[in-house]
Structure 1
Amino acid sequence: MFYELINNKRNEWLQSADCTVRPMLQYIEQQGMMRDAQIEAIKTYLFLKIACKGKPLYQLFAEGYFNETEIATEELTVETRHVLETSKAALALFQYSCLKDKNGRQLAPELEKFIRHHATEIDYERTLLDIFYGVTYTDYLFSLPMGAGKTYLMAAFIYIDLYFAQNEPDNPVWAHNFLILAPSALKSSIIPSLRNIREFDPLWIFSEVEAKKLKRLIKFEVLDEQKSANKSNIIRNPNAQKINTHLLGGNALGIVALTNAEKVILDHIDNSVDETKILSKEEMKKIEVANELRSVVGKMPHLSVFIDEVHHATDGDIKLRKIVTDWATESRDFCNVLGFSGTPYLDKAERTTIGGSFTIKNTNISNVVYYYPLMDGIDNFLKHPKVKHVDVSSEEILQNGVREFLNTYKDTIYADGTCAKLAIYCGQIPTLEDKVYPLVADIVTEYGLNPAETILRRHKGNKEYPEPEGSEAAFGSLSSPLSKVRIVLLAQIGKEGWDCKSLTSVILPHEGACPNNMVLQTTCRCLRQVVKGEHETALVWLNKTNAEKLNKELKQQQNITLSDFSSKPPVEKKHVERFSRKEVPSIDFYQIRVQYRIIVIASQPDTVARLADHAILCKRDKALVTIQNMEGKVTGYDEILTGDAELHTFRWWLHDIVRESFGTLSMSELTKHEALLKAIYDETHANPEYDHYLIRSMIRKAFVPKRDFTIIEEVVPDEASILSLDNLKAIDVADLSLIYPKEDDVREILDWDAHPEKGEMSAKDLELIESMKKIPGIPQEAIDAALAGIQSKLPKDPHPERLQTYHYLPYRFDSNLELGYFTEALVAVMKERNLEYYFNGDDTLTEFKIRTYRKTASGHWMYDGLYVPDFLVVSRTAEGAIDRICIIETKGEGYAPKFKERLEFMRDVFVPKNNEQYKRDRFRFLYLEDTDGHEERIKKTIQMINEFFK
């Protein structure tokens, strides 16, 4: 988050008298053609170029350009204070370590601690240089999400530099010529989008006179020629020749060359080795041709290098960084490198050692100078997405995702004439061809669409599956109103640089549909807005694995940090003693027990009747779909049918039934009932609402004697203690935040347990009061005043709640929700009532566990495990026995769906059955969610107590 420090100083500069470009920025905003993300990036760019003189980042931080921390109030040792007061680099690193993310968490508390205690051991300038990759030239990275207009921002930077270069031709800060590089792997997708720079109108940022002048200066060159013919003896690089043509005049200005990194990163000749002896002539020719282009590019005066999707330049197999470094060190007037990326983080964390022993780990690209959050773009210049993920098979995800897309967007035509489109990503070509395409083709046919027109298969082909004929041209024209394609099936293509604004939906149905670190980018392909300012929606379907990767990337982007890692000592666990405080009587209650007994109904199968029974047409179960936004926050839940729609022929279907019987059923037995089976097939085979596997199973059962089972529901008495003393032992925990009460409070409570007389009047004081009562004529007010005076001097119990809770100490809660609710209820509810309130959620200590069951789709009971309630509120009889019990359960929103069936069991079965046995209202169940909020939870608790504990 170094960019936060830059942004703070940038904002100060923009408001200061030193900012000379305020009219220019006001003009850009008034024109209204640039997005807010682009305008803010331009502000940062001008600040770094003008106020910071375009210096390298490590130097800017080392020279204290962004320092603002006041250390006068810091508690520091003499040595540390001296270092921070005399070293701007030290203060910069210390300032960084104290930064907090948007959630208020400190970025690098261990780094701060290390600086405080080892300030004199650190080479601060060396550390800053290492953090910024040892780069001594100017290298800035601008991070904007997909759809923010990075290519137009590049164009704006080019025109800005040319504008100032004309006025200050000798100022090395402003570039005269520009090279735009795309990563090698993305040459086919990114180069076309970079050509959009041609479309940028300088009128958006400069007056008409200046815009026309600048437009005439620009000379575009797309370096996409083949290096030379294979059989040519002439070693000439045609791309190098294009640049040379502009350099011949000696005063090159306004060259904008676009190419992919592959053109410039081939291994150059190592002068220390006579490679002519080990390489063929063809290999030598390729190397010389590549060297020629690199050499010519390096001669472009006042060169600025733009790297799109710069995160690829950090890959180990791309040598782009080395080439750029060569240009920067070999050319005296090299200007800068500007990177652009929507994903400014690394595949693998990079480590920096500080002070010889301490190590920080950087999971994000350090040289980000400007960052625009993805969430700020949604409903601004991006579509509003609905993200759904579910833990079912990829076929089921495809079924539901494709159907929802067609139901929602089948008739959507945007203002530019393009139709809404869906992209389905497949990890491998065989998966696309053999599994996904047939399934999707069946669905679109069902919706009355022609698969040949509606579906485009796009991949590069392999030995088994050639590249689909005409697919490249069709893919390139998807943004045309003439394209009839609605669904694009992609394998190993289309994850970056694909600009199709009418893409409205994305499905990642299985693991490996895209690389692990590209789920976010791939998901965002469908977010580009078609019509500026319009509220447009998008739909994303993911399997569980890809959803986890997406949320990991979202968290990584939203919490960009330099984290302290490897030299951090192991987490120190704290020893927590636990104590039994008060004896709570065992709770008697009734458990529900369900047993199954098999019954033979018939000795012979009644196949005809059973095949004709409509009950054989079983419907599918439903799976829970989680809906989230692009912050990773769950916004709702839905249900979908599980299972596959089957489109086999009738004969193939019969073979499936026989095959799945494992030899217990023959084809000849099936064909005796062909008419009945054909009726079942015709009713169900193409309908996704039916559970085809279960129907085939029911058909096989029709050929064996019918058996059934009876369900015996029993209500059996049980008794349980809420504290197992055998298990109450000391524990070692790393985090004390969920231990309550704290150690000092525990000691106080135990002390008052041992000496309750501390709060009571002594015998002498009691005798005094009694003697006063016997003296004739003393008013009652005097006696009361004497009594109050004595009591005021007595110690006050600091924990009066101890009489109503804490059957053992301390409690260890599972979540902040549990801890918060416990303390809330103690203060607001239990204090004024003669009730007891216990935490029961530690399953290692309580025996009060409830057997739970859930109803299956067929209506049968299925055992669902032991449920351990969170809290118990109890009242007692005059004799001290447990009278009434309210079971309280707290659940976070993310866990609520999984508790749904247990909630129904507790409310509809356990509580009614128990109260029926006791012939009174003895049990109550209260369910609370974190979405209720503090006040609502307390309100519900008070309402329960007033109703139940009358």
Structure 2
Amino acid sequence: MAKRTTKKTINLDFAFFTHLHDFYRANKGRIRTYYRELSKKFLDFNNPDHNPKAFLRQPQFEALEIYIFLKEYLDNAPVHQMFKDWSESTGRFEGRTVSNQTGQVQLDVLKQASKDQYEAVFNRMRDHADGRLYANYIFALTMGTGKTILMATCIFYEFILANKFPKDPKYCHNALVFAPDKTVLQSLREIQTFGLDKVVPPDYVNFLTAHLQFHFLDEACTALTTLDQSRFNIIISNTQKIILKRQNKEKTPIEKLMGSGKPTYQADSVYAQAADLYGFDQPNDDDSLTTNQRFEKLRRLGQLGIYIDEAHHAFGKQLANDMGIKSTATSLRKTVDELASSLERVGTHVVACYNYTGTPYVGEEVLPEVVYAFGLKEAIDKAFLKKVRINGYSNTRTGEFVEVAIANFLQHNSNQRHEGMLPKLAFFAATIEELQGELKPAVEAALTKHNIPSSKILINVGDAKITSNDDIREFNRLDTPESEKQFILLVNKGREGWNCRSLFGVALFRKPKSKIFVLQATMRCLRAIGTAQETGHVYLSEENQQILDAELQQNFRISLQEMQEGGSDRIPVKTYIKDPPPKIKLKRVRRQFDLKEKPLTNGINLELNKALKPENTDKYRLIHTEQEGLSIKAAARSKTREEDLTHIRQKRTFTKITLVAEISRYLNKSPLTIEGILNCTQEGVERILEAVNEFNELLYDWVIPHLFNELYEISEDTSSEEYEVELVKLSKDGYYKLSAKESLVVSEAIAGQDASKSFHLSHYCFDSEPEKTLFWNLLKDGRVKKLYFTGMLTHGQSEFYIQYIDPDSHAIRSYYPDFLFQKDDDSWVIVEVKGDNKVEDPVVQAKQKFAKQMAEDNQMTYRMIKGSEAGAGQFSQLLM
């Protein structure tokens, strides 16, 4: 394939995956109608808007939404086919519209100068995918946002659906998880140890627990022990344990005769080489490939889903060089393609290949098969990662650099523990000799000045002569409260897959061989810990600081300054609980409905003559009106011509048998009983048939309800009990850690004499300026006796919530309103501040309905106020 002669810069804002996500957001309601109920249930269980105890973070849940969207709505279509349908507004994208970020304006982004940019990449991608037997998707989530948990959640979802619909080819019956190296392989153990009840609805936990079979191939000699044609296997392996390899030497005549030596795999799949963009490094067509026991066992498993962690390793030499990874002479991608070909020949298939990586970029371009991306700056801004502070040092020697780095680290992290764990600082050396000869002595000397024993140091260099098994065990338990190690000295370790949340600092004083290593090492200390957004400290030489800035630009399209500014508008807040916490008394109303059968009577009158009066049937008629001009004056209306076209409506013609069957279905009576009742009505069966065949709607709106009232009697029994709820639960520490924009944090101290009317917590963290404005207006109003902001504790820290039924899934959800205040007449008012464009949302309306019912039962008032009104000080309706 010819190399490209020109390159076009593809900006993240104009990448296809952004428009795919826009389409999903704009059409979510319609898209969900295509989903199976089990898929909806799985999504809703993990949706933080529906389930306050949902475990997944926003990027994880959004990626899960796209994962299920690709499967249920787009039927695992390849990305190039999705793009074609999207660009032409055909197939499932027919009549598509895309919303801007506020959801207010619809536009066709394809017309905004992005078409040419896309075609350059996607035409090439379509060519590359022609010979591929499976869809290939890339999920680009920045480090620390939980790719491993996301991967596990997707696999659990696949298996639940595969069990329910075993013949559906779009669900995975088995999962193969690839890691590029041993460090990442160890991090993937979390799939096996992760509490699946956190992301799996309770009804399916026992099934998965009983049927999941884990196969962890961490040693070269480990055999794969899956049963042929078995299901629900999760095979977690280093790529080198399964990958096809070149036959390095000719078999000897004896080996050929006796069949000894490594078995040979004859590749016969049609594979379009994508060396242009991905740089796949494939064995030549004439080369033979050696297979192994694990590859052969995989060929005997059906409907295999392949999940590749740190997927940039799988894309070959060009991308490996860009990412600072040594490329091998074999390709994981070749192995996946040959595996797909083998499964195809025996009547099954690879369902899809799901790649998880940290960035959607390769140099100047966006990987075209990215379907979801969540960037570094966005993760910091939304407090999914620590904030970062870069400390640069020029013209420093090793000892000086180490000394000032440790002193600065201790200044910010001395005598602290986070989730019971000591904060840690990692030093990276370029070589083992450099670590032993320079770095270790310098660290020991610096710690001596602070009276810190050398036992706080841990060394991990990958050499058994220096790093013992005890050191490896200590390294693996760094993220536990029991670990007393605090200064970690590394050589080429922890670049990927090191999930140490208690790492609060990294230091690099020498230029490494790989520039990307500076970025990868820097990001190790950004994993979030605790409920507030902490700060990670990075210590770099001046040269490494410049390298980091360049790598951020290339891989994340942000500058070093933007990275440090990310999340700066959010601050950690410790909000202390007032003792005793306020309580309010509520009334729990229980309504029990009893259904009793009435004795059957002859001669039931269905009052069909009344049902057939024009005022009752007009709503069923199809009326055509014709008017001259646009005037609405009476004279013009008099010229309007009307025509009744009801006779052309599509109607079902009932017979006596089908009428009896339909009514029996609704009234839970045998057809013989229903037939007898209809025969004994005053109208008779023939008259009923005539009426319902003229207007089918009468059967459901009139006949069946009348028969129900004649056959059954409903009685309602209402009881109530009074109980107390705490507006905030006591925590063992006496406070909760939150984070919020500094401008939206209000403390009791600045409220002055009005503070006594409010503040069941020392600080209120508002979500928006309208909420904050409404708070101050209510606090200063003399008609308000008590005022509590209740919208900041939404994850089980408060007992004050309202249960409602979700209109889509029909599941019970919990809703935490924004304010609760008491007027001077001692009555209580519940207030919700809602964005103007959200007021008519079905879910918001459902919350309002149940909140009003709860308020009425408790002699309270529920009010919803638009954000624009709250922000403008228009709140008088709340006090009426």
Query: Could you tell me the TM-score, scaled by structure 2's length?
Result: 0.51
Q: Which of 59, 65, 68 pairs up with 1:43?
A: 65
In the superposition, relative to structure 1, how do residues 182 and 277 fare at CA in structure 2: closer, same or farther (>3 Å)? farther
> After the TM superposition, which residues 648-663 of structure 1 pair with which residues of structure 2 at under 5 Å, given as runs?
none
DSSP 3-state at the match of 2:197: helix
Q: Once the 2 structures are TM-superposed, how far is the Cα of residue 635 of structure 1 from its aligned partner?
A: 8.8
CA distance in 2, matches of 1:534, 1:88: 42
TM-superposed CA distance for 1:309, in Å, is 0.4
Q: 2:337 aligns with which of 325, 346, 353?
A: 325
Specify the SS of the correspondent of 2:65.
helix
Partner residue of 1:217 out of 196, 206, 211: 211
**Distance change in 2, residues 1:61/1:418 (3 Å):** same
Q: Does 1:450 align with 2:453?
A: yes
- Distance verdict in 2 for CA 1:134–1:11, change over 3 Å: farther
Mapped partners of 1:468, 1:163: distance in 2: 42
CA contact under 8 A between 1:394 and 1:510: conserved in structure 2? no
Residues 628-659 of structure 1 show CA distances to partners (whole Å, capped at 9, x for unaligned) of 452678999xxxxxxxxxxxxxxxxxxxxxxx
Q: Deviations over 1:127-177 (max 9, x none)?
A: 341476974521111111222111111111011111211222122111000
**Residue in 2 that maps onto 1:372:** 374
Cα distance in 1 between the residues matched to 2:143 and 2:298: 29
C-alpha contact 1:267 1:287 (8 A) present in aligned 2: no
> What one-letter code is carried by the residue in structure 1 that aligns with 2:542?
K
Q: 1:192 to 1:282 in 2, by over 3 A?
A: farther
Q: Using the alignment, how far apart are the partners of 1:258 and 1:135 within structure 2?
A: 23
Pick closer, same or farther for the CA change 1:170–1:65 going to 2, 3 Å. Answer: farther
Tell me the distance in 2 between the aligned counterparts of 1:107 and 1:387: 40
Match of 1:548 among 546, 549, 559: 546
Deviation digits for residues 510-562 of structure 1 (CA, Å, limit 9, x no counterpart): 210x621232221111112232x2232211112223222322232234449xx
Which residue of structure 1 aligns with residue 361 of structure 2?
345
**Cross-structure match for 2:45:** 27
Q: How far apart, in 1, do the equivalents of 2:489 and 2:250 lie?
A: 49
| Residues 279 and 260 of structure 1, relative CA distance in 2, 3 Å threshold | farther
What residue identity is the alignment partner of 1:194?
L
Local SS of the residue matching 1:388: strand
Q: Is the 8 A contact 1:388 1:627 kept in 2?
A: no
d(CA) in 2 for partners of 1:108 and 1:431? 56
Residue deviations 1:217-250, cap 9 Å, x none?
Answer: 21111122443xxxxxxxxxx523x12xx22xx4
Change (3 A) 1:47 1:433: same
> What is the percentage of aligned positions where both structures have the same residue?
26
**Counterparts of 2:239 and 2:314 in 1: how far apart (Å)?**
9
Structure 2 counterpart of 1:492: 492
- The AA in structure 2 aligned to 1:321 is R
- 2:33 pairs with one of 18, 21, 24: 18
Is 1:160 paired with 2:157?
yes
2:239 aligns to what?
261
CA distance in 1, matches of 2:493, 2:456: 19
- Cα drift, residue 446 of structure 1: 0.6
1:423 is the counterpart of 2:426: yes
Q: Is the 8 A contact 1:412 1:420 kept in 2?
A: yes
Q: CA deviation at 1:377?
A: 2.3
Deviations along 1:683-710, whole A, 9 cap, x unmatched? xxxxxxxxxxxxxxxxxxxxxxxxxxxx
Alpha-carbon distance in 1 for matches of 2:66, 2:430: 39
2:371 match: secondary structure: strand
What are the Cα deviations for residues 297-349 of structure 1, in whole angstroms up to 9, with x where unaligned?
12210000111100111232251000001112222222111111113433xx5
Contact 1:405/1:539, CA 8 A, preserved across alignment: yes
Are 2:216 and 2:237, in contact at CA under 8 Å, matched by a contact in 1? yes
1:114 CA displacement? 8.9
Is residue 459 from structure 1 mapped to residue 461 from structure 2 by the alignment?
A: yes
* Residues 225 and 508 of structure 1, relative CA distance in 2, 3 Å threshold: closer
Query: What amino acid does structure 1 have at the position aligned with 2:341?
Result: T
Q: Are 1:475 and 2:475 matched, yes or no?
A: yes
* Larger Cα-atom Rg: 1
- SS in structure 2 at match of 1:441: helix
SS at 1:239's partner residue? coil
C-alpha distance 108-384 of structure 1, shift in aligned 2 (>3 A): farther
Q: Is the 8 A contact 2:548 2:560 kept in 1?
A: no
Instruction: Provide Cα deviations, 1:285-304, integer angstroms capped at 9, x if missing partner.
Output: 48798422212112210000
Query: One-letter code of the match for 1:380?
Result: A
**1:13/1:476 Cα in 2 relative to 1: closer, same or farther (>3 Å)?**
same
**Cα distance, 1:275 vs structure 2:** 3.1
Q: 1:88 to 1:152 in 2, by over 3 A?
A: closer
Structure-2 change in CA distance of 1:112 and 1:87 (3 Å): farther
How far the C-alpha of 1:384 sits from its partner, in A, is 1.9
Given that 1:223 and 1:259 are in contact with CA atoms closer than 8 Å, whether structure 2 keeps it comes out as yes
Corresponding residue to 1:630 among 559, 563, 586 = 563
2:372 partner SS: strand
- Pair 1:147 & 2:144 matched: yes
Residue 681 of structure 1 is matched in structure 2 by: none
**Aligned-partner Cα distance in 2 for 1:269–1:298:** 20
**Could you tell me how far apart the structure 1 residues matched to 2:263 and 2:564 are?**
47
Paired residue for 2:80, among 58, 61, 67? 58
2:66 and 2:372 in contact (8 A); partners too: yes
- CA distance in 1 between counterparts of 2:551 and 2:534 reads 24
Counterpart of 1:526 in structure 2 is 525
Q: CA deviation at 1:257?
A: 0.7
SS of 1:306's partner is: strand
Q: Which amino acid aligns with 2:369?
A: N
Are the equivalent residues in 1 in contact too, given 2:458–2:485 (CA < 8 A)?
yes
1:401 lines up with 2:385 in the alignment:
no
Whole-angstrom CA distance in 2 between matches of 1:50 and 1:166 = 16
Secondary structure at the counterpart of residue 188 of structure 2: helix
What letter corresponds to residue 329 of structure 1 in structure 2? S
* Alignment partner of 1:334 is 2:334: no
Shift of residue 263, structure 1, vs aligned partner? 0.6
8 Å Cα contact 2:217/2:235 also seen in 1: yes
Secondary structure (helix, strand or coil) at the match of 2:236 reads strand
Contact 1:385–1:629 (8 Å) recurs in 2: no
Q: Is the 8 A contact 1:309 1:339 kept in 2?
A: yes
**Any conservation in 1 of the 2:306–2:350 contact (CA below 8 Å)?**
no
Unaligned stretches of 5+ residues in structure 1 = 69-85, 96-105, 116-121, 228-237, 350-361, 561-625, 637-950
Q: Is the 8 A contact 1:627 1:634 kept in 2?
A: no
1:4 to 1:635, Cα distance in 2 relative to 1, 3 A: closer
| Partner deviation per Cα, 1:384-442 (whole Å, 9 max, x = no partner) | 22122233335243222121112221322222x32110001111111111111111110
**Counterpart amino acid of 1:435?**
E
Letter in 2 for 1:496: E
Paired position in structure 2 for 1:207: 201
Change in CA separation of 1:25 and 1:124 when aligned onto 2, cut-off 3 Å: closer
Paired residues, number? 495
Post-superposition offset of 1:279: 8.6
Give the counterpart of 1:197 among 177, 191, 201. Answer: 191
* Whole-Å separation in 2 of the counterparts to 1:447 and 1:13: 60
Q: Check the 8 A contact 1:178/1:303 in 2, yes or no.
A: yes
- Equivalent residue number for residue 905 of structure 1: none
Matching residue of 2:443: 440
Name the CA distance, whole Å, in 1 between partners of 2:57 and 2:117.
42
* 1:643-792 correspondence to structure 2 within 5 Å: none
SS of corresponding position for 2:426: strand
Deviation, 1:87, is 13
> Is contact 2:74–2:92 with CA below 8 Å preserved after alignment?
no
Question: 1-side partners of 2:407 and 2:477: how far apart?
Answer: 25
Partner of 1:311: 312
1:518 to 1:278, Cα distance in 2 relative to 1, 3 A: farther
